[in-house]
Structure 1
């Protein structure tokens, strides 16, 4: 089975998602596909009148992704979950659990990522010593 997706970019994701909302689509969820050590695919799933529409965006793991939680507030849950499980970062997340939605602060490994993610101490990262 092949999933039909419209390809979007980091620069267009918020505009495309806003169009979906304005057209009456409901945000269902977002899926993360771990491609390799450096990249993931983000699949955004929407529904309207039993029609599912998917948007696909390929992103490097180390680059922040624009959050869609400003458009669909409920997206803060899946975006925080993706931070916990895959080590992704989201710019503009309306409610940011800082990687601790499901995980304790001392957890050093993202459970669903095939490749390890090392978390830096926030203070050390801010000082540039981490």
Structure 2
């Protein structure tokens, strides 16, 4: 099965480019595969992965912790799951999320448990 995904592309983008790039990928027939976040010294690194014909295209962006970024739920509605997860577990701030659980998507023992700063 791993042979199916032979090509993986990582494209570094600026947060301001996110919505335009995501809209372009949707128009080209890509589907949202996943989104993930990790804490880095500069803030957060976020990767949105898209698939078309067994080729992955990953949009990679870094943001400072205090920066608020646009949600991609206006383009790919199911991204609300990933973005609520990033919000609850890391403290990533999103603008205009289509379905925002306001920090209550997961029941956690403390706010943003995967952000070591908190």
**Which of the two has higher C-alpha Rg?**
1
The residue number in structure 2 matching 1:95 is 99
Tell me the secondary structure at the aligned position of residue 62 of structure 1: coil
Instruction: Give 5+ residue unaligned stretches, structure 2.
Output: 1-7
Q: CA deviation at 1:23?
A: 0.3
The residue number in structure 1 matching 2:69 is 65
Pairing 1:27–2:29 present: no
TM-score normalized by structure 1? 0.80
Pairing 1:7–2:41 present: no
Question: Could you tell me which of 80, 84, 87 is aligned with 1:83?
Answer: 87
Task: Give me the whole-angstrom Cα distance separating, in 2, the residues matched to 1:85 and 1:65.
Answer: 16
User: Residues 30 and 45 of structure 1 are in contact (CA less than 8 Å); yes or no, is this contact kept in structure 2?
Assistant: yes
Task: Give me the whole-angstrom Cα distance separating, in 2, the residues matched to 1:75 and 1:41.
Answer: 17
TM-score normalized by structure 2? 0.87
Indicate the structure whose relative CO is greater, using CA pairs within 8 Å and at least 6 residues apart: 2
Tell me the secondary structure at the aligned position of residue 19 of structure 1: helix
User: Residues 84 and 103 of structure 1 are in contact (CA less than 8 Å); yes or no, is this contact kept in structure 2?
Assistant: no
Task: Give me the whole-angstrom Cα distance separating, in 1, the residues matched to 2:33 and 2:15.
Answer: 20
Query: Following TM superposition, where does structure 1 have runs of at least 4 consecutive aligned residues deviating by more than 6 angstroms?
Result: none
